[in-house]
Structure 1
Amino acid sequence: MKLKKLTPEQKQFYRDNGFVQLKNLIPKKEFEELSLEYDRLFKRKNEAKTESSWVGSDDSNRQSDSPYSVKGIHNLQYHHSIFGKILYNENILDALEDIMETENIALHHTKAHYKPPEKGAAYPMHQDYPYFPYQNDSMVAAFIHLDAASPENGGLFVYPGSHKLGPQEDFGPKEGSNFHYVDQKKFPLSGATPVIAEAGDVVIFSYLLIHGSTPNNSTRPRRMLLIQYADAHDKPNAGERGQPGRGLILRGVCLDRDATVANRHQIA
């Protein structure tokens, strides 16, 4: 099913709130294959004990015996072709063009988070900005729900409009954590808005949007696949940690890179 361009109402909703929830972007057959290979990948990683995890604490080392966890895998496109195929989903890229207001879209990275039933950890309210700041703040995420999500099984919560506040003080490192999060007293989870989603829904949000999630105390898993994109001509700030595949052009061109390559040939 081909998505038409976003409606003026959807584009305005994103501008006002910093996120928009979209349906029917991924064909059924492709979605089923994504779900299947996602489970197979996590099974392999669990057996090899090579997946990373967040245990729902400010200090994951100190609380490594916590019964709560979130399993994570980065750069899924290096594990199976279906995760590379989803990067070029025309419906998602069409929506991104409207939201990012550019035809030139580059990949930053992909990751998957799996919240197991009855012991999936919460994520504190945070911005993605501190992990990979860009000069023009063009970065957005496509949060693909592989399961229906609600507060009961650890669904996404957001502070609508918080992207307009710009980067917020990063409390993670100052409190000795390896993770980044905002002031939890100023932005408590209890004050955030839940995003109720069906399997297949895609939520696109700014990396400045303050967001987090509840623990999964239900009998259902909460599986998600997240892809982060930036304007191909936006540049990471100095010190931004790169990811394998960062800068892959998914739509349009990167003229700066063309110039760089041309200059290298001239020098050679």
Structure 2
Amino acid sequence: MDAMSQLKKAYDEKGYVICDSLLPMTVVEELQEVTDKIVNAGAALTASDEVYEILDDLETKQSRIERIKSPHTVNPCFDALIRRQEITDVLRALLGPDIRLQNSKLNVKGKEGSAPVEWHQDWAFYPHTNDDVLAVGIMIDDMTEDNGSVLFAPGTHRGPVYDHMSEGFFCGAVGADVAKDLPDVSDTVTGKAGTVTFHHVRLLHASKANLSGDPRRFILYEVMAADAWPLAGCSAVFESWDSMNERMVIGKQSDVPRLVDVPVRMPQPLPPKVSSIFQLQRDGTNKYYMDGTNS
């Protein structure tokens, strides 16, 4: 069995794979430099805008940058990144020859602190006609157990789609009844800058707060097979046929959606204030890490 076939087998079994140090250091250094410039340019902001997601620390009340929104539209190096052969070779093995980008986000998790991300499934946000959908995560800095590492619950991509509701609204996190059992069965993701993760859209995952004093920047790309079309009512809004074609990473966009019998829960109704997963989870009551009793 060749290396890509082994990756596909592991992905199908666990719901994720990790490619250690997949990207060369020259690429990593460029990502770090560009990210530094973008973060420094927004350092004085106290409210979110089209590029920056700003959150106030729950304890200090100080504003900080939590996320760069759609970085592939902010700087061309991030658009080129998802199209690098090291990444597209893996994507072909996992999803096939025709792959579309939906969106991207750069979670900053700066050295001054950061919010945790509660347990959730990406599928709860953007179900499609089939679940050949995944997230590509690229470590811009080393990811350690102390600086807000990602947690994956292997095999959960083959299970149910869990309720992500709180007080009648979509909150982007599973309830404590589900979350309490996940740390004992989860894998802690660590790696050097340039390491790349690929996780299935239905995989339960989370990340803890960064309290290390070191940055842990991680860019995520939402990608899918080109015959996976977004369902009406989810966060992956259909804009136009042209937009779909413009977001192709490799191959050709399909006009024949492939429908597969997969479990779906719609992320509706939405709460009055929606900006990102951070705000959704903060405003909801499904807090496992955010309440401070679990670490």
- The TM-score, its normalising length taken from structure 1, stands at 0.82
Q: Residues 79 and 208 (structure 1 numbering): CA distance in 2 closer, same or farther, change over 3 Å?
A: same
Are residue 47 (structure 1) and residue 53 (structure 2) matched? no
Amino acid at match of 1:29: T
Tell me if structure 1 keeps the 8 A contact 2:99–2:249: yes
Counterpart contact for 1:115–1:223, Cα < 8 Å: yes
| Equivalent in the alignment of 2:5 | 8
Which residue in the other structure is 2:20 paired with?
23
Instruction: Give how far 1:222 is off.
Output: 0.9
The corresponding residue for 2:183 is: 190
Quick one: percent identity of the two aligned structures? 24
Q: Which moved more, 1:215-224 or 1:22-31?
A: 22-31
Distance 1:246 1:72, change over 3 A: farther
Query: Which segment drifts farther, 238-247 or 119-128?
Result: 238-247
**Distance in 2 between the 1:15 and 1:127 partners?**
16
What is the rounded CA distance, in whole Å, between the counterparts of 1:130 and 1:64 in structure 2?
Answer: 29
Distance 1:110 1:64, change over 3 A: farther
Correspondent of 2:81 among 71, 82, 86: 86
Cα distance between partner residues in 1 of 2:71 and 2:158: 31
Q: Return closer, same or farther for 1:235/1:243 CA change in 2, 3 Å cut-off.
A: closer
Q: CA deviation at 1:22?
A: 0.3
- 1:200 pairs with one of 194, 201, 212: 194
Distance in structure 1 (CA, Å) of the matches to 2:3 and 2:65: 33
- DSSP-derived class of the 1:92 partner: helix
Matched, 1:95 2:90: yes
Gap runs ≥5 in structure 2: 257-295
5+ residue gaps, structure 1: 57-62, 258-268
Whole-angstrom CA distance in 2 between matches of 1:108 and 1:154: 25
**Aligned-partner Cα distance in 2 for 1:122–1:113:** 11
CA deviation vs aligned residue, 1:70-101 (integer Å, no higher than 9, x gap):
6112211221111111121111111011112x
Query: What letter matches 1:190 in structure 2?
Result: P
What is the TM-score of this pair, normalised by structure 2? 0.75
Letter of the aligned partner of 1:74 in structure 2? K
SS at 1:181's partner residue?
coil
Q: Is the 8 A contact 1:68 1:121 kept in 2?
A: no
CA 162–130 in structure 1, closer or farther in 2 if over 3 Å, else same: same
Amino acid at match of 1:207: V
One-letter identity of the residue aligned with 2:85: E
Tell me the residue number matched to 1:76: 71
8 A Cα contact 2:43 2:64, kept in partner: no
Contact 1:69-1:115 within 8 A present in 2 as well: no
Cα pair 1:157 1:211 within 8 Å, conserved:
yes
Please identify, of 241-250 and 201-210, the stretch whose mean Cα deviation from structure 2 is larger: 241-250
Q: Which has the higher helix share?
A: 1
**Aligned CA distance change for structure 1 residues 55 and 48 (closer, same or farther; 3 Å):** closer
Describe the SS at the equivalent of 1:136: coil
- Cα 1:67–1:46 change in 2 (3 A) is closer
Distance 1:156 1:210, change over 3 A: same
Question: What SS does the corresponding residue of 2:177 show, helix, strand or coil?
Answer: coil
Whole-Å Cα distance in 2 between the matches of residues 106 and 250 of structure 1?
5
Structure 1 residues 177 and 26: CA distance shift in structure 2, 3 A: farther
Contact 1:124–1:184 (8 Å) recurs in 2 = no
- Identify the residue that residue 233 of structure 1 maps to in structure 2: 227
Aligned-partner Cα distance in 2 for 1:214–1:127: 16
For the residues of structure 1 that align with 2:183 and 2:65, how far apart are their CA atoms? 20
